Structure 1
Amino acid sequence: MDLQISVFLLFILFTAGHSRRCYECTSLTGSCADQRLKTCPSESSQCSSITSVVQVGDIRSKVKVKDCAPACQSGSLNIGTLKATISCCNSDECNLEDAPDPSTAPNGKKCYTCVGQNCTTILSCLETEDRCINATATIGGQSVSVKGCASKSVCDATTSVAGFGSISCCNGNLCNGAQSVSQSFLFLCCSLLSYFLLH
């Protein structure tokens, strides 16, 4: 009996002191050649690797980020000017490899995206992006609306995507924009018109 208790206490002692080790890197040049290992805080149980492509007009930039994560889901996010692939793993040093470049192959799904204050631009979703999203992001201290495409796994994540707040997802072409509002408005108008005509 004493041996079992001793083994149990040793197990608790060794596992309680173990922290995840992940590679860390932030690169605005598209290369994580200078990545380094870090010991994660106790609340971080996963490692992440993100490859993003940002394109504004003719200016295109690839950004890579690796770090510890409290929780994360592998998947894809596309808001038009920003496309990102997120890779998550849950063992020490598992994020050595970079997340793959975001896909450029459309999958046939369409969602609304925002260009400035106008959120009626139609965006072609890529590969695994099977949901439309509505979210808010804080840019320069201001909260702005963000719309686009995402993988189901990103929508199902229990924590929000870094930099984004209040993410909501829907399934169906153009379900994240003005069309669904105008359909509801049209239904309301038809209901009111039939009420006035029949009474």
Structure 2
Amino acid sequence: MSTTAVTQVGDIGTKLKVKDCAADCASGSMNLSIIKRSSVCCNTDQCNVQDAPDPRTDSNGKKCYFCNGKNCSNTVSCSGGEDHCITAAASYGEQSLVVKGCVSKSICDSTTSVDDVQKISCCSGNLCNGVQSVSQSFLFLCCSLLSFILLH
């Protein structure tokens, strides 16, 4: 596998390239706002000679929520092949962590069991990894009920 990861916090940025062997590998990219990563997997000797592409590509129009500390109402623009939103939750003792962002479908398909992570879910709608508003659900229910009454 070959991986390129970019971290950007304010004006400080780093880029890390890793080449290694991996038992389970998924080609694709992930964008968690301050951390962006792309990976390319292959299965022949020394096939990882090429670097994984830079994950900082142009926006593809899709948006997902991401977490900044405990605040998960921020949005991030997805790029390249990132066609799904992800939510992952982990607990370490009394500490809990929620991670949200954009991912490629291939990464969603490969995250069925990750150590120390209790819950991983992916969805394909725009901003689908956020909490649904109660007022929107209530308004939809009222409109549906009113339509049913008026049409019957």
TM-score of the two chains, using structure 1 as the length reference: 0.63
Q: What residue is the counterpart of 2:36 in the other structure?
A: 83
Q: Cα distance 1:136–1:158, how it changes in 2: closer, same or farther (>3 A)?
A: closer
Distance 2:77 2:117 in 1: 21
Distance 1:133 1:119 in 2: 12
Quote the offset at 1:167 in angstroms: 2.5
Quote the offset at 1:160 in angstroms: 5.3
Q: What residue is the counterpart of 2:70 in the other structure?
A: 117
Q: What residue is the counterpart of 2:60 in the other structure?
A: 107
Quote the offset at 1:156 in angstroms: 1.3
Distance 1:62 1:163 in 2: 26
Quote the offset at 1:95 in angstroms: 1.1
Q: Is 1:182 the counterpart of 2:125 in the alignment?
A: no
Point out which structure has higher relative CO (alpha carbons under 8 A, 6+ apart): 2
The amino acid across from 2:101 in the alignment is G
- Asked if the contact 1:131–1:149 (Cα under 8 Å) also holds between the matched residues in 2, the reply is yes
Q: Cα distance 1:54–1:158, how it changes in 2: closer, same or farther (>3 A)?
A: closer
CA deviations over 1:44-102 (Å, ceiling 9, x no partner): xxxx1110000111110111222221121110100000000111011111112221111
- Asked if the contact 2:86–2:123 (Cα under 8 Å) also holds between the matched residues in 1, the reply is yes
Q: Any gaps of 5 or more consecutive residues in structure 2? A: none
- Asked if the contact 2:85–2:101 (Cα under 8 Å) also holds between the matched residues in 1, the reply is yes
**More displaced 10-residue stretch of structure 1: 62-71 or 160-169:** 160-169
- Asked if the contact 1:79–1:146 (Cα under 8 Å) also holds between the matched residues in 2, the reply is yes
TM-score of the two chains, using structure 2 as the length reference: 0.81
Percent sequence identity is 54
CA deviations over 1:91-118 (Å, ceiling 9, x no partner): 1111122211113200000110111110
Distance 1:126 1:64 in 2: 19
The RMSD of aligned alpha carbons is 2.9
Match of residue 167, structure 1, among 88, 100, 120? 120
Q: Cα distance 1:129–1:167, how it changes in 2: closer, same or farther (>3 A)?
A: same
Q: Is 1:151 the counterpart of 2:101 in the alignment?
A: no
Distance 2:79 2:141 in 1: 38
Secondary structure of the residue aligned to 2:106 is: helix
Quote the offset at 1:163 in angstroms: 8.4
Quote the offset at 1:186 in angstroms: 3.9
Distance 1:135 1:66 in 2: 25
